[in-house]
Amino acid sequence: MLVLVAPGQGAQTPGFLTPWLDLPGVEARLRAWSEVIGLDLVHYGTNADADEIRDTAVAQPLLVAAGLVSAVALGDIAPGAVAGHSVGEITAAAVAGVLSEDEALALVRKRGLAMAEAAAITATGMSALLGGDPDVSVAHLEKLGLTPANINGAGQIVAAGTLEQLAALAEDKPEGVRKVIALKVAGAFHTHHMGPAVDALAEAAKELSPADPKLTYVSNKDGRTVASGGEVVDRLVGQVANPVRWDLCMETFQELGVTALLELCPGGTLTGLAKRALPGVRTLALKTPDDLDAARELIAEHS
């Protein structure tokens, strides 16, 4: 059984969309979406530098656009389940047929802008913890006033909070944690600091006409499968200020009988987690169109 997944913020790198523009129709599709959302996706995916695409308001629509471009390039496929990490959930919702491509891009543009505005209120950030016992780490983070914003499984938790709280974490790591790595993000995503963005996204969601998913959709909120389009959208709204439970998503993949995991462009992060947490499961990350033939072979073997 094949699971199709979409990465979240931080997976983008300068120029990562450049090779995809060589595929027929991709540039036209990106320019059409750019008109819809008022953001030049072609420029940011090809010529912009790392600082430009780190901007939350840019990174989020860029990632969803890249995921959808690579999904279209795969052709008409029917994975056993779909899921996305954080903003990748919007990509997954479009792949599952809950949202149209235009709706997904319009929603993620508003999400990125709202989260950027919320992040500007207080100086906040995120740091990844590598290793250690999850229960011990979570208790330690709560003692420091931090939120375990991403519980990713495979020995990785991402903490979020104020810069002062993160500095305290760097000086006082939880027992067993090998390393604390400051992430290059603009704020404490998936925490109470994003409360204003939830309100803005709830307003934006009123303009959507969600359909029930045509594929099994696995939610970041609790790893559960969701069969209602309306509930998918409600979860997309609330998830902005609540932790990502990718560990529970991977547990659900196992329960569903996953044998292969394919990560949409810009792939790498989620396949890395799967290699550690899902032993025996075949993984493949779509990075460039050169990976498409191998991806189609994987699909043929495991769909």
Residues annotated catalytic, as ranges: 86, 190
Residues 6+ apart with CB under 8 A from 51: none
Nearest Cα to 81, choosing from 253, 301, 244, 207? 253
Tokens 């944690």 label which residue? 177
Sequence-ordered strand ranges (E) for the chain = 2-6, 81-84, 124-131, 147-153, 156-162, 177-182, 217-218, 225-226, 260-263, 282-285
- Phi, psi (deg, nearest 5) at residue 44: -70, -25
Amino acid at 108: V
Q: Are 215 and 303 in contact (CB under 8 A)?
A: no
Nearest Cα to 275, choosing from 60, 63, 5? 5
Rounded CA separation 163/184 (Å): 12
Tokens of 79: 């994975």
Burial class (CB in 10 A: 0-12, 13-18, 19+), 117: middle
